Amino acid sequence: MTTTNVALITGSTSGIGLECAKILAQKKYNLLLISNEPNKLDELQIEFSSIYGIKVFALYQDLSTLDAAQSVYQYVLQNKLEVEILINNAGFFFFGEVVQASPEKASKMILLHIHTTSLLCLYIGRHMKERGRGYIMNVSSISAFKDFPGIAFYASSKKFIKGFTRSLRTEMKYYGVKVTALCPGATATNLYDPNVIDVKKGMRYGIMMTAAEVADAGIRGLFSNRAVIIPGLLTKIMTFLSIITPYWIIYLARKRWKSLFDQT
């Protein structure tokens, strides 16, 4: 028997993905939760099915591998799941110069943010096209709007997601499928290394939004068929300021930061 009204969410055991799952569970969508944290998946499967009275499928999967999207798709087919909503949220962050980055970490980011995200849209999007309905939300970032040193791999992969999503949106509109790019700013999640970025201080000063706030803006925007969602007034202002900042200023700031860094 086919399970309909399914929301597939990657990176669903924490942060924005978890909050999206909660919102959709409250709306009585069945869930396919995908994460590389098996213990949390098991806990959420029991918790959500008990609290919300929905079907919850849990798939442990490392999405930063070449065959990850194919494995997820095979799981969907084998379990006869009709995916109504696809949320590509899984991601991670690291800071540092390109030439100093770990090749393994860089490869994982490219595979996760670009390869797996785009192929899941391909596989799941085909069925949405055939049905003439569906929702896809890909999580990008405000870093996709401007190129800054230190986050080349992260920002460039998020820029791909934003551009890819806009193209996909135009293609899928013809078939009745709604596609949205969620571009949050700094969000209080475990995406950041606590030894580098003080999340609690960021929230206290209003620089960071909560994952629940970002997820709520994302889901509301998705159902409203918005093309790009930048949650929060401060985030919008920061995005605008980053766009208009000349690269020579960015370079001077980088030089100053680099000299201070070398002294530590």
At 264, the pLDDT band (50, 70, 90 cuts) reads very low
**pLDDT tens for each residue of 191-241:** 555 555 545 544 554 567 899 999 999 999 999 999 999 998 888 998 888
Q: Which of 19, 138, 136, 2 is nearest to 79 (CA)?
A: 2
Complete edge-to-edge strand list for the sheet that includes strand 177-182? 56-60, 30-35, 3-10, 81-88, 134-139, 177-182, 228-229
Arithmetic mean of pLDDT over the chain: 90
Dist CA 213 CA 235 (whole Å): 12
**pLDDT tens for each residue of 11-65:** 999 999 999 999 999 999 999 999 999 999 999 999 999 999 999 999 999 999 9
pTM: 0.90
User: For residue 263, what pLDDT is reported?
Assistant: 43
CATH, residue 89 = 3.40.50.720
User: For residue 96, what pLDDT is reported?
Assistant: 86
User: For residue 253, what pLDDT is reported?
Assistant: 77
Dist CA 218 CA 229 (whole Å): 7
Strand extents, DSSP E, the chain? 3-10, 30-35, 56-60, 81-88, 134-139, 177-182, 187-188, 209-210, 228-229
Full DSSP string of 48-117: HHHHH---EEEEE--SSSTTHHHHHHHHHHHTTEEEEEEEE-------S-GGGS-HHHHHHHHIIIIIIH
- In Å, what is the CA distance from 44 to each residue of 59, 209, 244? 11, 23, 43
User: For residue 228, what pLDDT is reported?
Assistant: 98
Assign residue 60 a region (left: φ > 0; alpha: ψ between -120 and 50; beta: otherwise). Answer: beta
DSSP 209: E
Classify 257 as helix, strand or coil.
Answer: helix
Q: Which of 17, 66, 65 is nearest to 44 (CA)?
A: 17
User: For residue 242, what pLDDT is reported?
Assistant: 86
Phi, psi of 150 (to 5 degrees): 95, -20
What is the number of structural domains in the chain? 1
Q: Which of 41, 179, 48 is nearest to 120 (CA)?
A: 179
**pLDDT tens for each residue of 70-114:** 999 999 999 999 999 999 999 999 888 999 999 999 999 999 999
Cα dihedral sign, 195-201-207-211: positive
* Domain range enclosing 178: 3-263
